[in-house]
Amino acid sequence: MRSSLVFTAHARTMMHERGIQEDWVKSTVLDPDMTEQRDDDEVHYLKKIPQKGGKILRVIINPTTDPNRVITVFFDGRVQL
């Protein structure tokens, strides 16, 4: 990942609705516990967030744009790290 990110309106709305802090998103992208490269040119970054009891934050990025675009963010209860 790259140091600069742009947040879509959808991502900002989801962050607000889900109580996700921008610092957590940036930390997840800069220092993920795991990444998944998808066929649709998306990269998924995952990280445990201690402040949320160890829930896994999933940040979905479009890396083909400059700066990279955060598409959406959510706590993923289906994944264990």
Q: Is 76 within 8 Å of 20 (Cβ atoms)?
A: no
Tokens 């992208």 label which residue? 29
pTM of the predicted structure, to 2 decimals: 0.90
Q: Is 57 within 8 Å of 28 (Cβ atoms)?
A: yes
Q: pLDDT digit string (tens) for 4-60?
A: 889 999 999 999 999 999 999 999 999 999 999 988 789 999 999 999 999 999 999
SS3 70: strand
Helical ranges in 1-81 per DSSP H: 9-18, 22-30
